[in-house]
């Protein structure tokens, strides 16, 4: 049942995207929208990540604001600010910081 649900969700997502972007010719997208498209992915990621970082449950005996989620996000942000072209490095550093902080707290 889970596989059927995932397949149906994928089909619906694909159908919605094709319905919106399918009829458009590449030349019919306005330059303003084309300039904005590179910012869509970071905005969506921030919308997903920020609530989980800010509402993360307190772990261990450390300060109430210090959670593995916050440390991982800050390390990922710092590495991303320095190395903008290396997604996997940012991801690996963020996950490592999250895991190490989870073990330390």
pLDDT in tens, 18-65: 887 776 666 677 888 888 888 888 888 888 888 888 887 776 666 677
Q: For the whole prediction, is pTM greater than 0.95?
A: no
66-79 confidence digits (pLDDT tens): 888 899 999 998 99
The confidence score (pLDDT) of residue 4 equals: 93
pLDDT for 27: 66
First to last CA, the chain: 38
> 13-22, pLDDT tens digit by residue?
998 888 877 7
Domain locations along the chain: 56-105
């Amino acid at each position: 049942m889970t596989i059927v649900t995932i397949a149906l969700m994928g089909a619906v997502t694909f159908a919605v995207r094709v319905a919106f972007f399918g009829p458009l010719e590449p030349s019919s997208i306005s330059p303003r929208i084309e300039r904005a498209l590179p910012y869509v992915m970071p905005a969506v990621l921030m919308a997903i990540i920020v609530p989980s970082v800010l509402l993360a449950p307190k772990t261990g005996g450390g300060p109430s604001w210090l959670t593995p989620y916050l440390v991982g996000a800050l390390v990922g942000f710092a590495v991303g600010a320095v190395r903008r072209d290396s997604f996997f490095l940012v991801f690996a550093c963020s996950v490592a910081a999250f895991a190490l902080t989870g073990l330390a707290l």
